[in-house]
Amino acid sequence: MSWQKVLSDKGYRVSGPRRLVMELLAESAQPMTPLEIYQVLSQSGRALGMVSVYRALELLAELGLVCVVYNPNGSSGYVAGSAGHHHHILCKRCHRTITFAGSEDLSDLIRRVEAETNFRVSDHLLQLYGICPKCQKISADPVEDN
Amino acid sequence: MSWQKVLSDKGYRVSGPRRLVMELLAESAQPMTPLEIYQVLSQSGRALGMVSVYRALELLAELGLVCVVYNPNGSSGYVAGSAGHHHHILCKRCHRTITFAGSEDLSDLIRRVEAETNFRVSDHLLQLYGICPKCQKISADPVEDN
DNA sequence: ACCTTATTGATAATATTTTTCATTAAGCTT
DNA sequence: AAGCTTAATGAAAAATATTATCAATAAGGT
Ligand SMILES: [Zn+2]
Ligand SMILES: [Zn+2]
Ligand SMILES: [Zn+2]
Ligand SMILES: [Zn+2]
């Protein structure tokens, strides 16, 4: 289902700012902060308010159309969303991010943790960190965003 | 190894603010933000500057003496650290957090993702979310921080 | 008890996020 | 296609959060 339809079906409008943010994130290889999104779009001539970026991200995240990911350094950014159970792998060097299907089996772990803590587990956050193919090649070079 | 020794061995001093922050997080059942830490300590009479809280957390996190955890709503907070491979489970209702040993086996997943993406995986972020024992009992009640 | 210097904390400076509210435009109805 | 309704935007201000400065303090060693 397209992101436009997700918005429509929930009664939200497919507005300019939402479209700009969605399309930018879909193209971006790296997670982007609200400020980065605002700056890139502004410099591309497509004007929109900073506030709209925040509001668009908030809504899109709520609908699962974009995801928040956590950089290895602790900062966070937004990436395009994906349907179904999935996670993200981030490059520690250039922050390039790829989505992968959540095929992991955590049932043993969850069983053990539930027994140990008496929590009832319902959900999880998983990200992998590593070095992307491009950065493996230039592994001696300084960080570049490419 | 005690956190005091970790600091000393790296040439850092065991200062008042660092001790206050470490001891508070060690006692706290929930992750705390810098502001919460500052406020609780201030109200307890133990005065320290907000800036010192930030600096203490930055250093302690760098040394692995405290960990950053991400609440289900996206906000983050600090919890007392733990040696070795471990993760955290958070209550979606009251944010109570418990540390557990990282005994999960992600090798199948990592192998698959490495093959699919050509990344080289070195690290991961994992958190479990659920409902803590206390909140299971009062599951019909509004959120309480207890 | 005294030195040395890392660390603190008051203040100011930045940066980030949220509120407000008049204006705009998305999508529905003729 | 024009008009209507109201969600959504954006400029500005307000509120929060974080970082930088630098004189004063105190931790740890002698
Ligand atoms: Zn890379
Ligand atoms: Zn998963
Ligand atoms: Zn709970
Ligand atoms: Zn693990």
Per-residue confidence (pLDDT) for residue B41, from 0 to 100? 96
More confident residue, B83 or B146: B83
| pLDDT, average across residues A96-124 | 97
Per-residue confidence (pLDDT) for residue A45, from 0 to 100? 84
| pLDDT, average across residues A67-86 | 95
Reported as a single tens digit per residue, the pLDDT across B90-108 is 999 999 999 999 999 999 9
Threshold 0.95, pTM exceeds: no
- For strand C, give the nucleotides within 7 A of a protein CB: 6-11, 16-20, 25-28
| Residue range B3-137, CATH number | 1.10.10.10
- A47 CB less than 7 Å from any atom of strand D: yes
| pLDDT, average across residues B50-62 | 97
- Note the helical H segments in chain A: 3-9, 16-27, 34-43, 50-62, 107-117, 133-137
| pLDDT > 60? residue B142 | no
Give me the B residues in range 4-23 that sit within 7 A (CB) of strand D.
Answer: 7-8, 13-16
More confident residue, A47 or B55: B55
The alpha carbon of residue B9 is apart from the nearest alpha carbon of chain A, in Å, by: 24
Chain A residues with CB under 8 Å of B130 CB are: 114, 119-123
| pLDDT > 50? residue A145 | no
Tokens standing for A144?
Answer: 């570049």
| pLDDT, average across residues A123-145 | 84
| pLDDT > 70? residue A143 | no
Per-residue confidence (pLDDT) for residue B146, from 0 to 100? 43
| pLDDT, average across residues A6-16 | 96
Per-residue confidence (pLDDT) for residue B47, from 0 to 100? 81
Q: Estimate to the nearest angstrom the gap between the alpha carbon of B95 and the chain centroid.
A: 11
- A17 CB less than 7 Å from any atom of strand D: yes
Compute the CA torsion angle A125, A131, A133, A136 (nearest 10 deg): 180
CA separation for the pair B139, B133 (Å, rounded): 10
User: Are the C-beta atoms of A114 and A120 separated by less than 8 Å?
Assistant: yes
Of B72, B128, B132, the CB nearest to A110: B128
| pLDDT > 60? residue A63 | yes
> Could you tell me the distance, in angstroms and rounded to a whole number, from the CA of residue A124 to the centre of ligand 2?
6
Per-residue confidence (pLDDT) for residue A140, from 0 to 100? 63
| pLDDT > 70? residue A123 | yes
Per-residue confidence (pLDDT) for residue A146, from 0 to 100? 44
Per-residue confidence (pLDDT) for residue B116, from 0 to 100? 97
| pLDDT > 60? residue A52 | yes
The full set of domain ranges for chain A reads 3-137
> Could you tell me the distance, in angstroms and rounded to a whole number, from the CA of residue B142 to the centre of ligand 1?
44
Burial call A40-60: b when 16+ CB within 10 Å, e when fewer: ebeeeeeebeeebbebbbebb
Give me the phi and psi of A71, to 5 degrees please: -65, 155
| pLDDT, average across residues A28-46 | 95
